[in-house]
Structures are given as structure tokens and as C-alpha cells.
Amino acid sequence: MDNFTFRNTTKIIFGKDTESQVGSETARYGNKILLHYGSGSIKKYELYDRILKSLKDAGLEIIELGGVQPNPRLGLVKEGIDLCRREKIDFILAVGGGSAIDSAKAIAVGVPYNGDVWDFFTGKASVEKVIPVGVILTIAAAGSESSGNSVITNEEGLYKRAVGSDILRPRFAILNPEITYTLPPNQTTCGVSDIMAHIMERYFTTVKEVDLTDRLCEATLKTVINNALIVLEEPKNYAARAEIMWAGTIAHNDLLSTGRIGDWASHQIEHELSGIYDVPHGAGLSTIFPAWMKYVYKKDPEKFAQFAVRVWNVEPDFRDVEKTALEGIKRLKDFYKEIGLPVTLKEMNIPYDRLEEMAEKCTEEGPRGNFVKLNKNDVLEILMMAR
Amino acid sequence: MDNFTFRNTTKIIFGKDTESQVGSETARYGNKILLHYGSGSIKKYELYDRILKSLKDAGLEIIELGGVQPNPRLGLVKEGIDLCRREKIDFILAVGGGSAIDSAKAIAVGVPYNGDVWDFFTGKASVEKVIPVGVILTIAAAGSESSGNSVITNEEGLYKRAVGSDILRPRFAILNPEITYTLPPNQTTCGVSDIMAHIMERYFTTVKEVDLTDRLCEATLKTVINNALIVLEEPKNYAARAEIMWAGTIAHNDLLSTGRIGDWASHQIEHELSGIYDVPHGAGLSTIFPAWMKYVYKKDPEKFAQFAVRVWNVEPDFRDVEKTALEGIKRLKDFYKEIGLPVTLKEMNIPYDRLEEMAEKCTEEGPRGNFVKLNKNDVLEILMMAR
């Protein structure tokens, strides 16, 4: 086990009707707030009205900025920064999934900074000051509701890059599983894929003797797998929605990183896919992850066999550890198919003519991943295997 | 799953040599600190010198108060409160296990309060202000290093009572597994018992559909069970000590309570035992818990069967769920015996003449427990079963 520091200060407010607490929670931090959201689908249901009522009851002044797209764009972030400065906003409330939250975090870090906010994403600047962010989560997926990360796409060159700092963790996150009842099935399954990927990126580590975090990862994965099948059959099953929503937060709140280093190559390869083709992040991950696994499992077949046995109930074959390992990868791929996720680039209509360009962009700052360090040719091989 | 709010703000600093960070961490919160510890065994090793050096290097002024006993006493807490007021202490650093930390928390809550600090333990006062506390943990057991609770024994009447508040969570907790290498085996095993009890108190709940927290509980229990056997054979096995130490924190940081209500009757019955007979908390728990389980399992045999199968690898017998459930309880009891813990009052030389008195004291504020509500006669039955 590696030495580690862990602190997650986000206050999780979980359960039915919890969005009614948003006004009193927000009032602890600010007076004039930016309400930041996506397509406006929040206005279709009563959610928007309930949020506005709670905020107004708490005496808060509200400025709105909608229009966050999936794979949130730098352009809107810059617009948000200008708006916050002009209006002297002191708190940002993100209502949505990872895209709205990541966009809010990027605005939060940009407002007090004298320079181009993209500097934080290229490593030219480091996060020292932010305006506080709160969240009402509408999609269980990204885990951004209690993480210290933000991933933004720069339209110029279609670069998708991340910034991270403990002080970027939201002050509070309101999670009402009922809000996810009306999600289209493909958003639910893309969320499931993202949650599973966050766990698996941490699970496959070169650090030995991390028994507890291994088991916590396996526990969270099993919960997600079991409940994904239920919510697809019964979208309004509260218990199953709740399990997935809470698992989505735990998957990415850094508890499952304690004592170990994660891999993250699959995420970075996927960022190239969705950076260029704007495919849903979760669909990109279900395509890349099994290919990555097949490419790297020989580095530590015993770990992949453990994954197969403990997560997928594969019967262990101690005379053929690789067979056991490969069966686990197969079960993961079968599970993705069962819940309707793509497992090939072809299914997403991604042509093969820019694979080398993606491999190049992915590794231009150096090799990717930790479980196995991947150079450009490795990434290209993985993309080829994902065709 | 029940609605819940979860926030744990304690900064965990985990790993080798981490005690060297105590000076810089403490300096964030105070200038003049109370160094609070137990028997002075910390002075036997170089730990004390290393801590003092780090604190002095950070320019901190240090006042010492040692002498915390297991089952920490109200008398010393009051002495600490007077000392802090007189010396204008602004931070308390506890070095030790649950006793030193709980004593530090009780002092922290008492200093700003105009009245008898015992008021917080009887429910006459509620926690609104504390002076900040930090921890260097020397025993993996109580989980007090990131909990918001303190348990203190009042010498007058030997009442052992608790106070709890989120603001009582330590600001930081330094956990170096190497510090636990020199613990006597019985302290190691009593710690293991306490950790397991914290998980099981949460695991046996009347709340249904709490799949994720069930699995996280099972994962943590399995880690503790597997590694307890290792550390008894190899006290200086870093990995095994680290697993138990981190599990001890997770067992009691409230993550495993999310979405459910715990039971806590076994803890309360044990408090009567150690309140009167001053037995180690962990030894009292290994005696009470199996008796409690046998007394209550018929309320939900399926949950006890799940415990048996998932934690103890019992083969499920679906035609005889009770048999499966009872086998799990037997395995727990066998495990306690295997690691040298008592499972009867007799082994601890506790006479049977005050059982009724303990049952009376335990329930004088009303029935105990949530999984099953226990009145005086129920508690007496459990104590009789534990003979």
C-alpha cells in the first residue's frame, strides 16, 4: 500500500425531496448565484420550479446560464467567467450531470484568475482559489458531484483535458434518485459505464497489497452491475436508482484510490474519441475498456483473474490463470452488450481514418497509463482492437 | 434506503513516517497546543521525540497532559478543561487510541461551555462549539480518529456515555501502521474486535434495500478477518497492519451507515460491562456480540444468512436458512476464539451477581437497539447467554 492523503469535504444530501434543501445550503456560501445547466430539460419537469422556489425562499439572487453540452466546451466556460465577473456572482449552482458540474468548476476556477482559464488544463497554472460550487445531480455517471476534477473540451483542436484540485470539490451535492427516473435508457447505461470505468481505472494498479480498496472496488462494481439490469427493466425502481446514484459518487470520490495509483489510460484514449466525434463518454468507455484489458492483462493476469472471480463469479481455474482472466474480460463485454452499450467503434459509426491522429494526440505529452505505460503505437493497437 | 446526509471532513494522512507532518498540520489550526496521551508508553519508543521535534520545528508551544486510561474518565477530562482554559490552549493533539482521542474530544467540547461537561453526555446540552482536535493514532480500533463521537466513563456511578456531533470530527488524523508493530497481541485483537463490531452494528439494520453499504461492510469485514490472522503471526507485516488500520477508520467514519440506521445495542450492553468491570472494550464486544446475534437473528434470518455466506463463506442452505444463519454466528465466535478473544463473561472473570443491575442501567433511558428493541429483560437474557 502506498502512503496517501484523503479528505473529501463535500456534503452529500441524499434521498427523496432533498432538492428542497438547496436554498438553505446555498445561502451558507453566497448571495448572488449562477444557476448553470444544460439543455433546459430540467425545465420540462417540475424540478426547475422547485429549485427556483427554494433558492428564492432563501433570499438568493439568481443569474442563469444554460446551454452546457455533453463534453462541455471551453467557449461556454469563458462566457460563464465573464458573466460571473460582470454580475459579481459569489456561488455557482450546477444542475445536471458531469457536464454541467465540470463546466461550473471550470468557471469557478477561472473567475479569480488573471489569465486564460485553459492554462489550468494544460498545466500552465495551478488551482489556488475558486468560487464555491454546489450541485443538484440529475444523472448518475461522472462522479463530479464530489470529485475535485473538471474535464473540458477546447473547440480549437478538439482537445479534451482535465484539471484537478481538492478545493474544486463541490461544497454540497444534492442527490435525489427520483430525478433520474426519466432519463432515457442510453443515458442511464452510459452513466453505468462511466461509473464502472471510474472503479476499474483505480482497480487495475501496479501497487500490491491493497486488499481493502480492492474489495471496496469489487463491492461497488457488483452493486452497479446488479442494479443496472433492474433499472433498465424498471426505470422507476427507487432502490435500484438509489444504489446506482450512490455508487456513482463513491466510484469517484477518491476513497477507492486510497493507497494506490490508478491507470486512467482508457479514459484518456476515450477523451480523444469524444473530443473528435462527440460520442457519449460512457459509450466510448465501453468500447475502449475491453480492448485496453485485452492489450494489458498479461502484465498481471492474477489481478485480472481476481476481477473475474470476485466481480463476475467466474469459476477460478488455477491451472490456467489467463483463461480465468480472459473470461472476466468477456463477461464485462457481454454485460455492456446486454445493457445495450457499444463495444466497437463501428457501432458508433466512427471511421478508422483518424485512429493514428487520436493515438498521436493522446500521447503527445508522453506515455499514458500506469498499469502499463502506453506510447503512441500501444494506443493505436488498442484503437485497432476496438474496431 | 433511507435519506441521509454524509460529510466527513477529517483529513487522513496515512503511511510510513507520516507523523513528521504533525507540526505543519497542527500549525494550520493553533499556536498553543495540549498534547494529550495515555500511559506514557509513547515515550518508550522514539515516537514521542519525533512528534515533539515536528511540533517545535513548526514553532508551536506545547502543554502536556498524559494519564488517559482505557475507558477514559470524566475526572481527567475536567482536569484537561481547566488546564486548557488556564493556559489558553487553542488546539488539542491526541496521541493514542480511542481513549486518548475521546478524552481529547470531551475536553474540546467542554472548554467553551459554561457548565458541567457531563451535560453533553446526558443530553442536557448539545454541541455547538469546540476547540479543534488532531490525532496521531497508535492503535487501530475505535475509529475515533475520524468519527464525531466521544465515549467517557463517569466515575460517579460508573456510567459510560457518549456524545456525538459532526464538528467533533478531528481536523486531521495521522495513521502510520508501523506505530502499531509493538502493540501487545491482546490490544491488537481487542482492536480487531472493536472494528468488526462497528461494522456489524451498522450491518444489522431493519432498513431494506441497502445493497451497496451491505457490500462495503462485507468487504471491510473480510479484510479485517483475513489480516488479523496475519498480524498475529507477523506483528511487523506492514501490509496487514495497514489494511487493519485503514479498515478501522472506514468502519467508523459513517460511510457504512449511509442510507440505514444501525443497531448499537451490543455496544451499549458492553458499555455497562466495561463501565463496572473496566474490561477492554473489544473483549467485552466479542463476548456480547455472538450472544446478541443468537438472541435476535430470528427477526431477519435471511440477513444473517447473507452475513454467513458473504463474510464467512458458509455454503448457503436455501431449505434451511436458519441453519445457514447460525453457522455464520458460529464462525464469528470461532474466529474470536482463534485470535484469543474471550466469548464468555466467565473468561473475563466477571461474576454473575450484577447482571440485573447492568440490564437495568443499560435500559434506564428506554429500550436499546434498533434491529430489535431490547428492554431490561432482553438485555438480561443476552447477558445470561454470554455467561
C-alpha dihedral (B314, B318, B319, B324), degrees to nearest 10:
30
Nearest Cβ partner of A246 from B9, B15, B258? Answer: B258
Looking at beta carbons, which residues of chain B come within 8 Å of A12?
Answer: 4-7, 258
The set of cell numbers assigned to B151 is 465515549
What's the confidence (pLDDT) of residue A335? 98
Interface of A with B in 243-302 (CB under 8 A): 243, 246-247, 250, 255, 258-259
The CA-atom distances, in angstroms, between B105 and each of B66, B132, B135, B154 are: 15, 9, 10, 15
Strand partners, B159: B154
A265 contacts: CB under 8 Å, gap ≥ 6: A292, A368, A369, A370, A371, A372, A374, A379
Residue A41 scores a pLDDT above 90? no
What's the confidence (pLDDT) of residue A158? 75
What's the CATH fold of domain A11-178? Rossmann fold (3.40.50)
What's the confidence (pLDDT) of residue A230? 97
- Report how far apart the first and last C-alpha atoms of chain B are (Å, whole number): 37
What's the CA gap between A86 and B229, in Å, rounded? 63
Shortest Cα distance, chain B CAs vs residue A65, angstroms? 28
Can you list the residues of chain B whose pLDDT is less than 70? none
Looking at beta carbons, which residues of chain A come within 8 Å of B246?
Answer: 1, 212, 258-259
Q: Do B12 and A2 touch (CB under 8 A)?
A: no
Looking at beta carbons, which residues of chain A come within 8 Å of B255?
Answer: 250, 255
SS3 B297: helix
What's the confidence (pLDDT) of residue B353? 96
Q: Is A216 part of the contact surface with chain B (CB cutoff 8 Å)? A: yes
Residue A40 scores a pLDDT above 80? no
- Exposed / middle / buried, residue B366 (Cβ in 10 Å: 0-12, 13-18, 19+): exposed
What's the confidence (pLDDT) of residue A116? 97
Shortest Cα distance, chain A CAs vs residue B142, angstroms? 18
Q: Is A53 part of the contact surface with chain B (CB cutoff 8 Å)? A: no
Shortest Cα distance, chain B CAs vs residue A347, angstroms? 32
The CA-atom distances, in angstroms, between A59 and each of A53, A94, B172, B232 are: 10, 18, 35, 60
- CATH 3.40.190.10 matches B183-385: no
Render B96-113 in DSSP notation, one character per residue: ESHHHHHHHHHHHHHTT-
Global pTM reads 0.96
Best A19, A196, A212 residue to mutate vs chain B (most B CBs within 10 Å)? A212
What's the confidence (pLDDT) of residue A147? 97
Nearest Cβ partner of B216 from A209, A216, A238? Answer: A216
Q: Is B313 part of the contact surface with chain A (CB cutoff 8 Å)? A: no
Residue boundaries of the structural domains of chain A: 11-178, 183-385
What's the CA gap between B104 and B384, in Å, rounded? 35
The set of cell numbers assigned to B154 is 463517569
Are the CB atoms for B222 and B246 separated by under 8 Å?
Answer: no
Residues constituting chain A:
387
What's the CA gap between A76 and A57, in Å, rounded? 29
CATH class of segment(s) B11-179 = alpha beta
What is the percentage of chain A residues whose pLDDT exceeds 90?
94
Shortest Cα distance, chain A CAs vs residue B173, angstroms? 10
Query: If we measure between CA atoms, which residue out of B99, B71, B331 comes closest to residue B200?
Result: B331
What's the CA gap between A163 and A158, in Å, rounded? 16
DSSP state of A335: H
What's the CA gap between A112 and A114, in Å, rounded? 7
Shortest Cα distance, chain A CAs vs residue B29, angstroms? 16
Q: Is A48 part of the contact surface with chain B (CB cutoff 8 Å)? A: no
Query: Taking residues A107-111, what's their average pLDDT?
Result: 98
The distance of Cα A64 from the centroid of its chain, to the nearest Å, equals 24
Residue A97 scores a pLDDT above 80? yes
- Report how far apart the first and last C-alpha atoms of chain A are (Å, whole number): 37
Q: Do B239 and A16 touch (CB under 8 A)?
A: no
The set of cell numbers assigned to A59 is 433570499
Are β-strands B4-14 and B32-37 bridged in parallel, bridged antiparallel, or unpaired?
A: unpaired
CA A132, A133, A136: angle at the middle one, nearest 5?
155
Residue A44 scores a pLDDT above 80? no
C-alpha dihedral (B372, B378, B381, B385), degrees to nearest 10:
20
Query: Taking residues A312-322, what's their average pLDDT?
Result: 97
What's the confidence (pLDDT) of residue B87? 98
What's the confidence (pLDDT) of residue A99? 95
Q: Do B4 and A12 touch (CB under 8 A)?
A: yes
What's the confidence (pLDDT) of residue A46? 86
| Residue tagged 494498479 (cell numbers) | A205
Number of neighbouring beta carbons within 10 Å of residue A385 = 16
pLDDT-derived band at A82 (thresholds 50, 70, 90) equals very high
What's the confidence (pLDDT) of residue B301? 98
A315 contacts: CB under 8 Å, gap ≥ 6: A309, A324
What's the confidence (pLDDT) of residue A43? 79
Q: At what angle do helices B185-203 and B238-250 cross, to 10 degrees?
A: 40
Are the CB atoms for B197 and B289 separated by under 8 Å?
Answer: yes
Residue A163 scores a pLDDT above 90? yes
Q: Which pLDDT tens digit goes with each residue over B285-308?
A: 999 999 999 999 999 999 999 999
Shortest Cα distance, chain A CAs vs residue B5, angstroms? 5
